[in-house]
Structure 1
């Protein structure tokens, strides 16, 4: 029989974390401590930036700013 590889994480810690994540009644993508940053803040910042750039482009086109000669 082949030897088993040692796990990356101690079994007790793994079971402890599993119980922690199973006990939280939030959406699965917001369970970790930094998940709000990656799932909410970054997409919100990208959306805000793109809306600003689109608005600036429409303003510049309507006023004829930045045309190439």
Structure 2
């Protein structure tokens, strides 16, 4: 008893040839991988550094203290 494949074999062979022909890191091989692997983490790091800097500035100048 054999299962029906999810995709046709031809499509899988095309994708294998595509991914094996690219000489990049494995996490940057897809068409939109630079967005998810580089841009989003860089944006998160930038915003967190901004908020950390803002917090240090506010603490050093005593802004926003509750009495």
Tell me which interval the TM-score lies in, with the shorter structure as reference length. Answer: over 0.9
CA RMSD of aligned residues (A): 0.6
TM-score w.r.t. length of structure 1: 0.93
Q: Which segments of structure 1 move beyond 4 Å, counting only runs of 4 or more?
A: none
How many correspondences in the alignment? 67
| Partner of residue 63, structure 1 | 61
Give deviations 1:14-69, integer Å, cap 9, x for gaps.
Answer: 00000000000011100001111110011001100100000000000011001111
Segments of 5+ residues of structure 2 without an aligned counterpart are none
